[in-house]
A = this chain, B = another copy of it.
């Protein structure tokens, strides 16, 4: 049987870290969870709401004696945090992360860890539009995927031990051997859609002839789904785009190409092109429903049907 962790340190106390804490408490999975956040305000809030068994005033203190250290900071802050905690890491400990990109995190973290410490990159594919220490909840990972992206020299036992923790927190595990492939898949399913949603919301905000109140009042017709995505944490997303630059720009290039083709079809009145395109995209939706990754309830269940 796989050995469980005794002490887990969460570095950074936002949506993911706080949800991990509540999920670990729910399952009584570890003896002690320590936590650290750079901002004194966040640490105070964490203490107030009982987030973590012990909130520490330095990252070093938090990782001391921990057999698992989870880096839950924005991708751009990973390198500095890795350097900061390195001297305090316990030999044999595992370091993991929850970043949305993997190549950049591996480059930032791996070279800074001491020998005898295992690094197992991971990416829980779960989130909401809320952020900060109060936004977490135990059920966030239930049924969601957590991608484990081990490096070639990752210790198999350390990898498996981390996978068991994620499963115990409710997630489904998938191992992805290639960090570059991970980054491309995420550029398609997450990073490009987020940038596009941000862009559309920004455009609506800019338009002077369409008053704010009209955009908001009539948002139910499609726009509001973009605004939810575009309400995600700005720091996190800035770092995602800066560190997954190539894959994101590649997908956005493909997107622009397709968008221009559809714009031309509109301009020239090519209804068949539009109809065929819109018919094809329906099939993907069916696949997502069948895979259990979304609800078929109309409008995400926001509308309630009569009996």
- By a beta-carbon cutoff of 8 Å, the part of chain A in contact with chain B is 22, 26, 76, 100, 125-130, 135, 137-140, 142, 144-145, 147, 174, 181, 184-186, 188-190, 192-207, 209-210, 212-232, 234-235, 237-239, 241-242, 245, 248-249, 251-252, 254-256, 258-259, 262-263, 266-267, 269, 271, 274-275, 277-288, 291, 293-295, 298-306
Q: How far is the CA of A142 from the CA of B305 in the complex (A)?
A: 11
Given contacts A189-B204, A258-B199, A287-B212, contact A293 B224 (CB under 8 A): yes
Instruction: Apart from A130-B298, A219-B291, A225-B225, list 12 A-B contacts with CB within 8 A.
Output: A181-B209, A185-B214, A190-B222, A193-B223, A193-B225, A195-B266, A203-B255, A216-B284, A220-B293, A224-B293, A234-B282, A252-B259
Give chain B residues whose Cβ lies under 8 Å from the Cβ of A305. Answer: 137, 139
Q: Which residue of B lies closest to A223 (CB)?
A: B189
Q: Are A216 and B288 within 8 A (Cβ)?
A: yes
Q: How far is the CA of A221 from the CA of B188 in the complex (A)?
A: 10
Given contacts A221-B125, A223-B189, A291-B217, contact A203 B241 (CB under 8 A): no
The distance from the CB of A209 to the nearest CB of chain B, in whole angstroms, is 7
15 A-B residue pairs with CB within 8 Å: A26-B306, A137-B303, A184-B209, A186-B218, A189-B215, A189-B221, A189-B222, A190-B222, A202-B258, A202-B280, A216-B288, A219-B291, A227-B285, A231-B282, A252-B259
Q: Are A217 and B280 within 8 A (Cβ)?
A: no
Q: Are A281 and B189 within 8 A (Cβ)?
A: no
Q: Which of B210, B227, B275, B283 contacts A281 (CB 8 A)?
A: B227
Given contacts A139-B305, A199-B259, A203-B254, contact A249 B266 (CB under 8 A): yes
The distance from the CB of A129 to the nearest CB of chain B, in whole angstroms, is 7
The distance from the CB of A262 to the nearest CB of chain B, in whole angstroms, is 6
Q: Are A256 and B254 within 8 A (Cβ)?
A: no
Q: How far is the CA of A212 from the CA of B290 in the complex (A)?
A: 13
